Amino acid sequence: MPLRPNQRLKLDDTDDKLFYAYPRFVTHVDDGFIQQLTDLYRQRLKPNTRIFDMMSSWVSHLPDDMEFDHVEGHGLNAEELSRNPRLNHYIVQNLNENPQLTLPDQSFDAVLNCVSVQYVQYPEAVFSEIYRILKPGGIAIISFSNRMFFQKAIQAWRDATESTRVELVKRYFASVPGFTTPEVIAHKSTVPNFLQWVGIPGGDPFYAVIAYRREAQ
Ligand SMILES: C[S@@+](CC[C@H](N)C(=O)[O-])C[C@H]1O[C@@H](n2cnc3c(N)ncnc32)[C@H](O)[C@@H]1O
């Protein structure tokens, strides 16, 4: 188990659906973060493939100049998802209530999760689903910064530093046999936190933890 029971707790333990009942047409990270993520997607995703954008909203950060066969979205707010121009279809499902996805085995080339993994209370179940729906050789890209809805992030995430959060996501991958050893991309902010707290912009730090479903042996 990658987490102890107390590490899964949120300060606000009401149903997540209530917190996401109203749409938020905002971006949760700055332009620099989004540019790095879009560039990473451009490098690692293949055109004309099937993408699952897990814990998505009205934006997917996919490169405008790339076409995909199918982009399946998922999240908690239907209004946000219905406005996302990249999605062909979407599912509304609370992963903390039911982590099992109604998607077939080995049906996606890539699973993406952007700035949301901190809200997952049962990562071993969710990462097992990521593995199940990925085709052999398929990629999972989990990206995050240092921002969060603090009251909805699990205790393990709230208590961690930026680098121990990377270790946490690596542990989530390691909890499922069959993923490759995760690769980490870490671009820390160039301005120290205490200066950002007094209003000097530093650029959001960018982290991505990437693993592939191993090809069949
Ligand atoms: C910070 S937003 C990020 C949205 C999007 N990935 C982006 O890059 O803008 C967090 C998203 O996680 C989703 N989410 C939060 N808790 C969830 C849960 N328990 N089950 C499913 N989705 C959840 C919400 O729908 C929300 O859109």
CATH of the domain at 131: 3.40.50.150
Whole-number pLDDT of residue 108: 98
**Residue at 217 is within a domain:** no
70 with 53: CB under 8 angstroms?
A: no
119 CB within 6 A, ligand 1: yes
Q: What is the mean pLDDT of residues 55-75?
A: 97
Q: Does residue 202 lie in a domain region?
A: yes
pLDDT the model gives residue 78: 96
Our answer on whether the CB atom of 115 is closer than 6 Å to any ligand 1 atom is yes
H or E stretch covering 51: strand 50-54
Structure tokens belonging to residue 105? 């085995």
Confidence (pLDDT) at 189: 77
DSSP 112-171: EEES-GGG-S-HHHHHHHHHHHEEEEEEEEEEE-S---GGGS-HHHHHS-HHHHHHHHHH
d(CA 139, CA 35): 20
> Which pLDDT band, with edges at 50, 70 and 90, does 119 fall under?
very high
* 55 CA distance to ligand 1 middle (Å): 4
| Segment 68-95 mean pLDDT | 97
Determine the atom of ligand 1 nearest the C-alpha atom of 119: 16
21-49 average pLDDT score: 92
Average pLDDT score over residue span 97-112: 98
Residue where the block lists tokens 């099992």: 100
Average pLDDT over residues 43-52: 98
1 pLDDT exceeds 90? no
- Write out the residue range of the structural domain in which residue 77 sits: 5-212
Residue 122 lies in a domain: yes
Domain contains 205: yes
Residue 67 lies in a domain: yes
For residue 87 and ligand 1, the question of a CB distance below 6 A is answered with: no
**Quick one: average pLDDT of 164-175?**
98
With cut-offs at 50, 70 and 90, classify the pLDDT of residue 200: low
The pLDDT assigned to 65 comes to: 96
Residue 63: φ, ψ to 5°: -60, 135
Number of structural domains in the chain: 1
The rounded Å distance from CA 217 to ligand 1 centre is: 34
Determine the pLDDT at residue 216: 77
Q: Which residues pair with 51 in a beta bridge?
A: 71, 110
Q: How far is Cα 214 from Cα 78, in angstroms, rounded to an integer?
A: 33
The pTM assigned to this predicted structure is 0.95
CA-closest candidate to residue 166, choices 130, 142, 196: 142
Q: Is 59 in the pocket of ligand 1 (CB under 6 A)?
A: yes
- Whether ligand 1 lies within 6 angstroms of the CB of 73 is answered as no
Q: Coil, helix or strand for 194?
A: helix
Residue listed under structure tokens 């405008």: 64
- In Å, what is the CA distance from 184 to each residue of 59, 117, 173, 192? 23, 15, 12, 21
